[in-house]
Amino acid sequence: MAQIFFFGHGGWDPRNQKSGFATVPGGSTFSFYTEANTLMTLKFGCDLIAGTATGGPEQKFEQFQSCPDMTLYPAPEFHGHVSQAMAKSGSTVIVANKPMRLSELFLRYPGDDIVWIACRALELNPTGKPAPGINRVGQ
């Protein structure tokens, strides 16, 4: 099983989805390295790609388990950093060039060990009031 990384900006907005969840394909695993509602730093994402990050995943999903159907958004401002991390490790990184749901990506890349290198922002309607703990900065 090959390891691949999905890289970009990331968010979860279940409001216009049937269920808000996706099923990990057979022969695949899927990992988040940040907690839900947490933003990932560029440094930590590049360390994961380069293979220099310490610690394990925050959440790991095995084949046929349900996970949040996140959306991966383009992050062209970070492509240079990602290219450098890829060059150090030889890793395969899928970079979003348009918004893509995780359920779509699972169809394109079955049978891999997939790592989410993006924020896990919770996309909410603005209330005009602070929401402590929502979309905090993690690693």
pLDDT digits (tens, 9 = 90+) for 110-121: 999 999 999 998
Specify the pLDDT at position 128.
Answer: 74
Measured distance CA(59)–CA(29) in Å, rounded:
11
Please name the residue that has the structure tokens 């290198």. 117
Check pLDDT > 80 for residue 61: yes
C-alpha dihedral (9, 14, 19, 25), degrees to nearest 10: 10
Confidence of residue 76 (pLDDT cuts 50, 70, 90): very high
How many domains does the structure of the chain reveal?
1
Check pLDDT > 60 for residue 138: no
pTM equals: 0.88
Measured distance CA(103)–CA(34) in Å, rounded:
19
Check pLDDT > 60 for residue 109: yes
Q: Count how many Cα atoms sit within 13 Å of the Cα of residue 106 in the half-sphere of its side chain.
A: 25
Residue ranges making up the domain that contains 16: 3-137
